[in-house]
Structure 1
Amino acid sequence: MTTTDFALDPRLTADTQHVASLPLCEVLLMNDTRFPWLVLVPRQTNRVEICDLAPEQQAVLWQEVKRSADALRAVAPFDKLNLGALGNIVRQLHVHVVGRTDGDAAWPGPVWGSGKALPYEPAAQAQQIQALRRALGVD
């Protein structure tokens, strides 16, 4: 299910750290400690919307979203799950999987464009990625 000329949008590369490769998607950790936040990017070129994927790829995408949400909840429990595939700034198809907690830095509004990101310290980021990899079953 990969495309050989797939490349991650530079803005996603700048804002995230690689966690794992699933059958369809790259799983990325958003570099913002304020929220448990993953981004899934299908390895498909020229896709902007979820409906641009073939039906069987859409099914795999939602399975991987569920798997990632479960892993995120296991590593950083939260009250509410937010999913989004906005693409207004980064056109490359990607799905945000964000854990929200009542009273978090953006509550009850959206996380997108809310305040300034608080980046992970390198050691904490490495620990978070390792914990997510274990929870995803790819460690």
Structure 2
Amino acid sequence: MFDIGPGEIGVLIVLAIIIFGPEKLPEIARKVARVVNYLRHIANDAQSTLRRELGPEYADLDIRDLNPKTFVKKHLLEEVQPVIDDVRQDFKDADRGMREDVEDMKKTLAGMNKDVPAAESEGPAPFDREAT
């Protein structure tokens, strides 16, 4: 749910030492661990009660499935996903084909430029200040 990296943990530890002091920190850490354990126990108990009350047909219920984003992805997009994958593959194929065509055109133009003699150098093209 929350992604906390080592940098954030380090900042939290430094802040805790500054705010509470190194003497009280172990006691506070034990209290926080007890609260987290208690909340985890409550969540597991609520989940098991929900499964028991809903009956055996919902025995494989996962609370995360009740998240609307997960629900839509699992139940609605499941049917459409093969079509989406086909469209993505078609776009990739078209992109690959266009890139190959561009490379072929570059090769053709490079070959054509070899056949055309270089124009005589007349200096830079004239510049008209009033035209711009």
TM (norm. structure 1) is 0.21
Higher relative contact order (CA 8 A, sep 6+): 1
Larger proportion of strand:
1
Rg bigger for which structure? 2
TM-score by structure 2 length? 0.22
Q: Which has the higher helix share?
A: 2
